[in-house]
Each structure stands twice: as C-alpha cells, then as structure tokens.
C-alpha cells in the first residue's frame, strides 16, 4: 500500500495508501519510530506517495 495501492475499489475508497493509519519505521540513523498523521505528519505524507523516505517500514 505504500506509495499508492491501486485496486478495483479505488473509485469508492481512494488509494490504499490514503487509508494508512500508522506505521512503524526504522530510520537510517537506526531510530525506531511510530508515525501517524498527527505524529510525524511529514513522514506520513511521504509514505502515502508524496515523496521518498530513507527508512524501512516494519509494520502497519
């Protein structure tokens, strides 16, 4: 779902990435964070397809 998430239901529900609530990430500096639209909104924006991010998503 990261960066888009196209499906046949996209017309009714939007991209899968638009419905991402939170995700756990390990950043390049080995910091583990949990991001959401209220906590680290810039990372949430990037994960939903608006840019690149230097990290690994470990869970949704």
The full DSSP string for 20-53 is --EEEEEETTS-EEEEESSSSHHHHHIIIIIS--
pTM above 0.85, yes or no: no
- How many domains is the chain partitioned into structurally? 1
Within a domain: 52: yes
Q: Note down the domain range covering 47.
A: 21-59
Work out the number of other CB atoms within 10 angstroms of the CB of residue 46.
Answer: 18
Within a domain: 3: no
Give the pLDDT score at 31: 93
Please answer whether residues 37 and 26 qualify as being in contact, where contact means their C-beta atoms are separated by less than 8 angstroms.
Answer: no
Coil, strand, or helix at residue 17? helix
Give the pLDDT score at 30: 93
Give the pLDDT score at 51: 65
Give the pLDDT score at 8: 66
Within a domain: 44: yes
- Per-residue confidence of the chain (60 residues) as pLDDT tens digits? 565 556 666 666 667 667 778 889 899 999 999 988 899 888 877 877 766 777 788 887
Within a domain: 35: yes
């Amino acid at each position: 779902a990261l960066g888009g998430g196209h499906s046949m239901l996209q017309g009714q529900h939007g991209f899968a990435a638009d419905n991402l609530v939170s995700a756990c990430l390990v950043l390049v500096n080995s910091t583990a964070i949990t991001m959401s639209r209220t906590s680290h909104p810039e990372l949430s924006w990037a994960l939903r397809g608006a840019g690149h991010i230097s990290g690994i998503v470990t869970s949704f």
